[in-house]
């Protein structure tokens, strides 16, 4: 009986085996086709912009020696790996990163723009078969780029119902992070206008604040306001280097400076922040424990700014450490000053905490721990602008303090002069009456009836002092020998 059951089970399994194989083959085909479709960005829907980063494949070329012909050859077909996220975040590397992107346009033929959404990339080059390469980035003069835009952008012509594969090579000496965005041509032009309005608005406000506090410094001659002006100007230049407006308008033909300016200006911002903090909280008086660390950190920021002008990769790591350490030191010094009785230091403490959060987030973004996006890239500027507002409150509070101090000084000066006038009036009132004077000897009778000389009488009641000499008539009468024609000088007066 058992043999009969086993034979039936074996025949049933042999009958089902072709169906199982067919199901497995169908599943494999479905998986392969789905993975292949996942690598193809299909432009469906009426959206004016598509984030096609997740559909791209990446190849890191640390030697920077691979060319387009090699990368596009069948030998490198399997060398690319899928990104699988909405942003590329490789971190701080010195390499060339190749991206392979396949696009399918089921809509009508139209003009598109491929944007690399990071204004700090050194150079991005777009390759596709039967066409010349296009380059853009901070190391490429704006006049040589296809679009006058802070981020690298390239025009693409996608025929209807066609599939095309593009290769993108991105080189950079620092943190490689960006998103690959595909825009409709008209939408991209609107984006450029909006970017320009936002950039000029923020930069205009910063420039206006710097001019305002410069006028305050010229009126008060208080160095703290001058240091704040330097802080505003350094942050303005740093913001322009990071958002790309500096490369477009200030140094369009200086690719070397555009590549090194981001870290350089960032160190200047940290140095001027420490300089302003030390001057505002009066560190030698209210935070003596942190005075020398503040001075040492300021000089370290200047040293790292000089190091940023080199091509050493280690400059990025030192800059990130200083970016976190400088606001933390400013927080500790401000807290110490606040505990020692300097109440205005609370604004500096809050500003240092806000800037620390912004810098820490930017460091995590640079090393690739968090994905990049529009808001993530703008977080540093937003937090630092909030810190600037707190510093402005602190300086306004300081202005009110100086105003109260000046008013107190003027009141004390008025009281002192009023007292002097009262003393003079009292003395004059004592003299403004009839004085009994002896017609023979010239003595004066005082209030008690005692007779005294004129000199003693006035000395007792006023601050007048006397010196004695001899008039010419008395000199001739008393000392005739000194009145010869040789003009012999008279004896000097003697104090009584």
Q: How sure is the predictor about 223, in pLDDT bands with cuts at 50, 70 and 90?
A: very high
Same domain? 396 vs 450: no
pLDDT tens readout for residues 274-291:
999 999 999 999 999 999
Instruction: Pick from 85-94, 128-137, 345-354 the range whose average pLDDT is largest.
Output: 345-354
Instruction: Pick from 23-27, 299-303, 409-413 the range whose average pLDDT is largest.
Output: 299-303
173: domain CATH number is: 2.60.40.2380
Domain boundary among 160, 187, 214: 187
pLDDT tens readout for residues 62-106:
888 988 888 888 888 888 888 878 888 888 888 889 989 888 877
Same domain? 393 vs 458: no
- Taking Cα atoms as reference points, which of 313, 324, 370 lies closest to residue 92? 313
Angle of helix 374-431 relative to helix 454-461, nearest 10 degrees, comes to 150
The pLDDT value recorded for residue 29 is 39
pLDDT tens readout for residues 242-262:
999 999 999 988 989 988 999
Q: What percent of the chain has pLDDT over 90?
A: 34
Domain count of the fold of the chain: 3
Same domain? 401 vs 260: yes
Query: Taking a C-beta distance cutoff of 8 angstroms, is the pair 103, 182 a contact?
Result: yes
Domain boundary among 187, 215, 243: 187
Which of 123-132, 137-146, 419-428 is least confident?
A: 419-428
Same domain? 448 vs 390: no
Would you say residue 401 lies in a domain? yes
The pLDDT value recorded for residue 359 is 92
The pLDDT value recorded for residue 355 is 94
The pLDDT value recorded for residue 197 is 93
Residue 191 has pLDDT above 80, yes or no: yes
Would you say residue 204 lies in a domain? no
Same domain? 156 vs 64: yes
For residue 114, give its domain range.
42-187
Same domain? 391 vs 263: yes
Give the mean pLDDT of 448-470: 75
Same domain? 358 vs 456: no
Residue 14 has pLDDT above 50, yes or no: yes
The pLDDT value recorded for residue 2 is 46
Average pLDDT, the chain: 82
The pLDDT value recorded for residue 15 is 54
Same domain? 52 vs 162: yes
Give the mean pLDDT of 316-345: 93
The pLDDT value recorded for residue 1 is 46
Q: How sure is the predictor about 34, in pLDDT bands with cuts at 50, 70 and 90?
A: very low
Give the mean pLDDT of 443-458: 77
Same domain? 312 vs 172: no
The pLDDT value recorded for residue 481 is 73
Would you say residue 25 lies in a domain? no
Q: How sure is the predictor about 431, in pLDDT bands with cuts at 50, 70 and 90?
A: low
Q: How sure is the predictor about 36, in pLDDT bands with cuts at 50, 70 and 90?
A: very low
Would you say residue 235 lies in a domain? no
Give the mean pLDDT of 199-210: 93
Residue 28 has pLDDT above 50, yes or no: no
pTM: 0.74
Give the mean pLDDT of 49-71: 88
């Amino acid at each position: 009986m058992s043999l009969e059951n086993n034979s039936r089970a074996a025949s049933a399994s042999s009958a089902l085996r072709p169906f199982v194989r067919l199901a497995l083959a169908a599943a494999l085909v479905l998986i392969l086709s789905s993975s292949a479709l996942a690598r193809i960005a299909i432009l469906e829907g009426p959206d004016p912009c598509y984030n096609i980063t997740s559909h791209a494949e990446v190849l890191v070329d640390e030697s920077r020696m691979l060319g387009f012909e090699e990368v596009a050859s069948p030998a490198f077909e399997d060398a690319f790996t899928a990104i699988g996220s909405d942003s590329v975040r490789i971190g701080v590397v010195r390499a060339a990163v190749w991206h392979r992107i396949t696009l399918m346009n089921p809509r009508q033929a139209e003009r598109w723009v491929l944007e690399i959404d990071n204004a700090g990339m050194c150079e991005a080059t777009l390759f596709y078969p039967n066409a010349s390469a296009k380059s853009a980035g901070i190391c490429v003069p704006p006049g040589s780029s296809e679009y006058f835009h802070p981020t690298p952008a390239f025009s693409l012509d996608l025929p209807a119902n066609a599939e095309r594969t593009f290769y993108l090579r991105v080189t950079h000496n620092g943190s490689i992070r960006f998103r690959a965005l595909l825009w409709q041509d008209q939408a991209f032009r609107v984006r450029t206008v909006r970017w320009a309005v936002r950039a000029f608005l923020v930069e205009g406000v910063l420039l206006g604040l710097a001019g305002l506090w410069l006028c305050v410094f010229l009126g008060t001659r208080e160095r703290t306001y001058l240091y704040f002006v330097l802080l505003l100007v350094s942050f303005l230049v740093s913001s322009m280097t990071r958002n790309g407006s500096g490369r477009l308008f200030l140094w369009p033909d200086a690719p070397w400076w555009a590549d090194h300016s981001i870290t350089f200006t960032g160190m200047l911002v940290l140095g001027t922040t420490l300089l302003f903090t030390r001057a505002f909280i009066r560190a030698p008086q209210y935070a003596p424990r942190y005075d020398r660390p503040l001075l040492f950190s300021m000089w370290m920021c200047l040293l790292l700014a000089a190091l940023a002008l080199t091509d050493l990769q280690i400059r990025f790591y030192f800059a990130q450490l200083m970016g976190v350490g400088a606001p933390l030191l400013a927080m500790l010094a401000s807290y110490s000053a606040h505990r020692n009785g300097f109440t205005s230091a609370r604004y500096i403490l809050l500003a240092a905490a806000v800037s620390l959060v912004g810098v820490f987030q930017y460091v995590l973004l640079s090393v690739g721990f968090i994905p990049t996006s529009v808001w993530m890239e703008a977080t540093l500027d937003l937090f630092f602008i909030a810190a600037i507002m707190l510093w402005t409150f602190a300086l306004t509070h300081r202005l009110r303090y100086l105003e109260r101090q000046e008013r107190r000084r003027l009141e004390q000066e008025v009281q002192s002069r009023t007292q002097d006038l009262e003393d003079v009036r009292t003395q004059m009132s004592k003299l403004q009456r009839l004085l009994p004077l002896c017609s023979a000897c010239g003595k004066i009778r005082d209030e008690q009836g005692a007779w005294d000389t004129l000199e003693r009488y006035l000395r007792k009641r006023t601050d007048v002092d006397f010196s004695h000499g001899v008039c010419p008539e008395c000199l001739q009468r008393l000392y005739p020998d000194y009145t010869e024609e040789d003009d012999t000088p008279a004896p000097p007066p003697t104090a009584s």
